[in-house]
Structure 1
Amino acid sequence: MLETVLDNVGGLSKRHTPESLRALLLARSTRRPDGCLIVQGYGTQRGVHQKIAGRAWAHIVAYAVFVGPVDPTLKVDHTCGVKDCVEPTHLRQISHAENCRTRVQAPTCRNGHERELDPATGRLRRQCRRCNADAQQRWRIRQAAERAASLTPQGMAESKARWDAR
């Protein structure tokens, strides 16, 4: 069997050829002044990875049809940092470790708190201390409620007596 450039692209509909995908990507894309070629895949949200031609990621399909075969051990990365860009000169294949090292981190957590630098890794912590403390408090409350619900009135009295004896 002849190997094609599309063999390592996951989620791609089998009816597509490299030529039909090239035409589809160009028809659904618009050029921005900064040089990015922005694709409109399934859905309306801008700024996120887009799917096209089945369940395949548009930037991986673009790499396969415009640049060459995709190595399944490597990730397709955007040098421009725009997740819905399919410009072939903005795409490259790098290792997962390199992809994680070069990823831009947001200075605040999803709740808007400032994130601290982790001295062990030199990168920003994934979760700020405030959100972590809030999550631990919610966990403690849930655990206490589950324990209280699981105890019978007699068991709760015995537990209280043991606790008070400490």
Structure 2
Amino acid sequence: MMYAHRWSYEHFVAPIPDGLTIDHLCKNPGCVNPAHLEPVTLVENIQRAHPLRTHCHRGHDLADAYVRKNGQRMCQKCRTVRYWEKKNASKGKQ
């Protein structure tokens, strides 16, 4: 079994290199137009789908964001606040 957009790219353009996935440049997942498809790494595909934000949902600047192994950025200030909240909550349970 092969997804239609992958078949379209391979049939009309070229084989998809190993380790790459197909990005829909038009952002329409049902599109099979080979001109709208591009092979990219999974990380790049995810980053394109979720463009980099400049601020977290609490308004903190993400310029010094913590980057997880999967490439996801986390607000360093929110991460610190969560750490201290957990630490203080565990002290109250003792």
TM-score scaled by structure 2?
Answer: 0.54
Contact 2:21/2:42 (CA < 8 Å) preserved in 1? yes
8 A Cα contact 1:76 1:93, kept in partner = yes
Whichever residue aligns with residue 13 of structure 2, its letter is V
Equivalent position amino acid for 2:15 in 1: P
For the aligned residues, what is the CA RMSD? 2.9
Correspondence 1:1-166 to 2 at 5 A = 11=1, 56-104=2-50, 116=57, 119-121=65-67
Q: Does structure 2 retain, via aligned residues, the 8 Å contact 1:116–1:124?
A: no
Identity %: 29
Q: 1:86 to 1:123 in 2, by over 3 A?
A: same
Shift of 1:104: 3.0
Higher-Rg structure is: 1
Aligned residues of 1:77 and 1:99 also touching (Cα < 8 A): yes
Distance 1:124 1:61, change over 3 A: farther
TM-score (norm: length of structure 1): 0.32
Structure 2 runs not aligned, ≥5 long: 76-93
Please give the per-residue CA displacement for 1:23-54, whole angstroms capped at 9, x wherever unaligned. xxxxxxxxxxxxxxxxxxxxxxxxxxxxxxxx
Segments of 4+ moved more than 2 angstroms? 115-125
CA–CA separation in structure 1 for the residues paired with 2:9 and 2:28:
15
Tell me the secondary structure at the aligned position of residue 15 of structure 2.
coil
Q: How many pairs does the alignment contain?
A: 63
